[in-house]
Structure 1
Amino acid sequence: MEIRVGQVVVHYVEHGTGRPVLVLHGAGVDHREAEACFEPVFDGVAGLRRIYPDLPGMGWTIAPETLRSADDVLDTLLNFTDEVIGGAHLLIGHSAGAYYAQAMAARRPAQVAGLALVCPLLPGLRDVPEHRVVAGSGEIGDDVFRSYFVIQTPEMLERYERYVAPAAALVDQAALGRIGERWALTPDHAPAYAGPTVVVAGRQDSTVGYAAAADLVDEYPHASLAVVDDAGHALPHEQPELLRTLLAEWLARVERSS
């Protein structure tokens, strides 16, 4: 499906009916990775409408020249949410998607019924570990696979080749470079989001680390925090059952709070 939001035509897919859940993927991929990782989380959970957009410059969402910063992308996502959802929803983000999700919840806390941040990209990253393979020979796949996954088994390689690698050909590198020059969002001095929150980080995440994510537990008054061993930035692929359990607990808290 597609919808025009200002000057951006946003491509997205959705599944199910009921309470909306907006799921934002990270940089350099598209909705297919988020869909593959999070749809199993919602298997058997009734009453959720899951929405997976392609972020500008990735997948089938073209980033026009007018998009020149992360603030422009954030405005596009907020307007997309207004058009497609129009009210209260759950919000999940992985990596750069979590960076935008955090800002969206800060801007419109009354519309966000729950916030889930998985391997979040954050300003002030610190103590990022060196990449280390924790399972597998470290000799299969291409360089991108070997730098992304810490569990390098044939099963993980199959997931990478099916859900991650195909997005590379669709990435508008010029657009991402243009936006990346102004990747820091304008600080929002609103009170911290107070709804049900979960933060999940990979202990071996050599892209964003886990230290800055762990700091968020003091920022959000109703946040659960999990730092998962034997997981890197590809945690949603590498630890799917644990992620499902953590998000199930989060969904239960959302239900209780509403």
Structure 2
Amino acid sequence: MVEKGSINYEVFGSGFPILIMHSMGTDHRSMVSWIEPIFEKVPDFQRIYIDLPAHGGSVVDESFNSSDDMLTNILDFIDKTIPNQLYSLIGLSYGGYLAQGILHHRRKEVKSICLLATALHLKERTLPEKVVLLKDEMQLNELNPDIRTAVETLLICQNKMNLGYFLNEIQPGRLVANKNFLMSNWKEKGYFLADEPFHDIELLLQPALIIVGKQDSICGYQDHLFLIEKFPNSTFAILDQAGHMLQIEKRKIVQDLMTDWLLRVS
């Protein structure tokens, strides 16, 4: 149990803890399948995959209505699960926004951070024009309308392999997400954290990895450039031919960059 509900999670391995947070609308399984192979070559890390509040098996109470509540529940989970320890963070998309919030509040505890196609604390985003580089109409025609809409929104390379990744990794979490909350008006009233991450500090010295897709029409890439200066000990990669689902469309290079980050951390 946490302050405003409960957090469902799954742990792999042992060693230095890494808290891993998925994107909005799915669950922790969307991260496990492609991150776990990295640790076959990089031992001595404990991977803690959580379902974000109102996602997967994580339950929220009736008072829950904002990103601040999301952050409150996750910080409470950290305090109860890995108390008085250093840890690292991996966050994808909205999970990356929450990772920034954790680092903002727990700078002395967070050893390093990895942000993937992360959302930022911006009410207006600089976004590239939506493009589609590959489109397999035969495969798309076999999908139900809801899944097809999601695929066409999130993927710029809509081929058989990427559709398979989406169906196996993203779609299971979409089926169990708390739609009553996610489809409510919380985004209009409570999406942005009350305390803007990093606004009060010039430099963050944690080893960082920031990866963005050049064709990401959801979170963009140009707005993220300030993070290069904010994190002087960082690797910053803008991947061409990658949209918001860069962990699907550029899986191998994302895994390689994350391996490099982990070796720097260790």
TM-score of the superposition, structure 2-length normalised?
Answer: 0.89
Equivalent residues of 1:196, 1:222 under 8 A apart? yes
Greater CA drift, 243-252 or 20-29: 243-252
Residue of structure 2 in register with 1:228 after alignment: 239
Distance in structure 1 (CA, Å) of the matches to 2:195 and 2:3:
23
Equivalent residues of 1:135, 1:153 under 8 A apart? yes
Aligned-pair CA distance for 1:138: 5.5
CA offsets per residue over residues 177-200 of structure 1, 9 Å max, x none?
A: 353221100225442432101110
CA offsets per residue over residues 150-203 of structure 1, 9 Å max, x none?
A: 111111111111111122221222222353221100225442432101110001
Aligned-pair CA distance for 1:146: 1.6
Distance in structure 2 (CA, Å) of the matches to 1:36 and 1:206:
25
Question: Is structure 2 residue 265 aligned with structure 1 residue 254?
Answer: yes
Aligned-pair CA distance for 1:135: 2.5
Distance in structure 1 (CA, Å) of the matches to 2:121 and 2:110:
22
Distance in structure 1 (CA, Å) of the matches to 2:137 and 2:220:
20
Where do 1:75-154 residues align within 5 Å? 75-86=72-83, 87-124=85-122, 125-137=124-136, 140=140, 141=143, 142-154=148-160
Distance in structure 2 (CA, Å) of the matches to 1:24 and 1:160:
17
Residue of structure 2 in register with 1:183 after alignment: 191
Equivalent residues of 2:213, 2:241 under 8 A apart? yes
Distance in structure 2 (CA, Å) of the matches to 1:134 and 1:108:
40
Q: Number of residue pairs matched?
A: 252
Residue of structure 2 in register with 1:13 after alignment: 10
Distance in structure 2 (CA, Å) of the matches to 1:42 and 1:138:
36
Amino acid at match of 2:74: L
Say which SS state the counterpart of residue 230 (structure 1) adopts: coil
Residue of structure 2 in register with 1:199 after alignment: 210
Amino acid at match of 1:5: V
Percent identity of the aligned residues? 29
Say which SS state the counterpart of residue 135 (structure 2) adopts: coil
Amino acid at match of 2:105: R
Where do 1:203-218 residues align within 5 Å? 203-218=214-229
CA offsets per residue over residues 67-109 of structure 1, 9 Å max, x none?
A: 1111111011111111111211110000000000011111111
Say which SS state the counterpart of residue 37 (structure 1) adopts: helix
Distance in structure 1 (CA, Å) of the matches to 2:92 and 2:253:
15
Distance in structure 2 (CA, Å) of the matches to 1:206 and 1:36:
25
CA offsets per residue over residues 209-228 of structure 1, 9 Å max, x none?
A: 11112221122222221000
Distance in structure 1 (CA, Å) of the matches to 2:167 and 2:127:
26
- Structure 1, unmatched stretches of 5+, are none
Residue of structure 2 in register with 1:168 after alignment: 174
Amino acid at match of 1:183: Y
Question: Is structure 2 residue 16 aligned with structure 1 residue 32?
Answer: no
Distance in structure 1 (CA, Å) of the matches to 2:150 and 2:131:
14
Greater CA drift, 63-72 or 34-43: 34-43
Residue of structure 2 in register with 1:46 after alignment: 43
Distance in structure 2 (CA, Å) of the matches to 1:92 and 1:106:
14
Amino acid at match of 2:191: W
- After superposition, the CA RMSD in angstroms is 1.6
TM-score of the superposition, structure 1-length normalised?
Answer: 0.92
Say which SS state the counterpart of residue 116 (structure 1) adopts: strand
Moved over 4 A (4+): none
Say which SS state the counterpart of residue 45 (structure 1) adopts: coil
Amino acid at match of 1:173: K
- Structure 2, unmatched stretches of 5+, are none
Distance in structure 2 (CA, Å) of the matches to 1:115 and 1:85:
17
